[in-house]
A and B are shown apart, each in its own frame.
Chain A
Amino acid sequence: MDSMDIVGKSKEDASLPKATMTKIIKEMLPPDVRVARDAQDLLIECCVEFINLVSSESNEVCNRAEKRTIAPEHVLKALEVLGFGGYIEEVYAAYEQHKLETMQDTLKGGGKWSNGAEMTEEEALAEQQRMFAEARARMHGGTVAPKQPDIEPNPES
């Protein structure tokens, strides 16, 4: 069965992937417990309804704050208003974790030359040519001394 099948009465309504939802549900329960198919479907519908509810409230919060884009803090406020304040701590922690993760990806993504700043295309090109020159030099028996990359850590980047 396609794990992305739409659960919903109206074709135009988006839903959530059954497989992922099922995993979350099953993880909450002891391993020998079974979940009836219709119970699973209802749980998924409830989740979509939850998103609808919190989205509407987030939209309101955003309006009141006179902002044009719904931001995480609007969502957190909405959760509180709706009675889901107990989720805020964990949700916020997950959000912070994600930000940290994304930042680390950016740092690692540039390879050894990356120091948190993104290289411009010219810099990247220059770096590439320098590498080629080094490689060529090595191939020719080291007639040209390979240059060390001279990118220094740049604190204000």
Chain B
Amino acid sequence: MRQAGTYSGMLAVMSGKNVPHSLPLARIKKIMKKSGNDVKMISGEAPIVFSKACELFIEELTRRSWMMTLKGKRRTLHKDDVASAIAATDIFDFLVNLIDDNGREVEGGFGRRGEPTS
């Protein structure tokens, strides 16, 4: 059984960050399978790659959202800040379905990607 301390320690040295929090691989795999109609078999290692990619994604989105919060001279990160970050970043275009033009979350927007809900 892998020792949590050793693992975290090694990664901390490598990435210079604190203890990394791994997202559950089974959950990731489930989401992957639901992402399309004809998803192929997924290797055991693919979710691991996803786990790290998700972490980086969240970090980037959080960081950009936080910049919006700072612009507004606030100390609480609001949903609108996330929406602004999405609107301002090209590679986050795929997320516009989750927010409407007012920067608020679309009701029922979460689901199969790309499908309009209203």
Q: Which residues of A contact B (CB under 8 A)?
A: 8-10, 12-17, 20-21, 23-25, 27-29, 32-36, 38-39, 41-43, 45-56, 58-59, 62-63, 67-72, 74-76, 79, 82-84, 87, 90-91, 93-95, 97-99, 101, 105
Rounded to whole Å, the gap between the CB of A64 and the closest CB of chain B is 12
Contact with A along B39-81 (1 / 0, CB 8 A): 1111101101111111111110111011001000001111101
Q: How far does the alpha carbon of A138 sit from the alpha carbon of B82 in the complex, in Å?
A: 69
Known contacts A70-B43, A97-B10; is A43 also within 8 Å of B91 by CB?
no
Contact with A along B7-20 (1 / 0, CB 8 A): 10011001101100
Q: How far does the alpha carbon of A99 sit from the alpha carbon of B90 in the complex, in Å?
A: 33
Rounded to whole Å, the gap between the CB of A65 and the closest CB of chain B is 11
Q: A33-B77, A94-B11 are in contact. List 17 more A-B contacts (CB 8 A).
A: A9-B110, A10-B111, A13-B110, A23-B21, A29-B66, A39-B65, A41-B105, A42-B79, A43-B58, A48-B110, A49-B95, A53-B94, A55-B35, A69-B40, A90-B15, A91-B56, A95-B49
Q: Which of B10-36 contact A (CB under 8 A)?
A: 10-11, 14-15, 17-18, 21-24, 27-28, 30-32, 34-36
Q: How far does the alpha carbon of A21 sit from the alpha carbon of B59 in the complex, in Å?
A: 10
Rounded to whole Å, the gap between the CB of A80 and the closest CB of chain B is 11
A83 touches B75 (CB 8 A): no
A14 touches B30 (CB 8 A): yes
Per DSSP, are chain B's interface residues mostly helix, strand or loop, or mixed?
Answer: helix
Rounded to whole Å, the gap between the CB of A62 and the closest CB of chain B is 5
Mind listing 23 A-B residue pairs with CB under 8 Å?
A: A9-B108, A10-B111, A12-B34, A13-B31, A17-B27, A27-B17, A28-B63, A33-B77, A39-B78, A42-B82, A42-B83, A46-B95, A49-B94, A49-B95, A50-B57, A59-B35, A70-B41, A70-B42, A71-B43, A72-B45, A91-B52, A97-B10, A101-B7
Per DSSP, are chain A's interface residues mostly helix, strand or loop, or mixed?
Answer: helix
Rounded to whole Å, the gap between the CB of B113 and the closest CB of chain A is 5
| Residues of chain B contacted by A16 (CB below 8 angstroms) | 23-24, 27-28, 31, 54
Residue of B nearest to A28 (CB): B62
B77 touches A91 (CB 8 A): no
Rounded to whole Å, the gap between the CB of B26 and the closest CB of chain A is 9
Rounded to whole Å, the gap between the CB of B10 and the closest CB of chain A is 7
Q: How far does the alpha carbon of A101 sit from the alpha carbon of B48 in the complex, in Å?
A: 13
Rounded to whole Å, the gap between the CB of B73 and the closest CB of chain A is 13
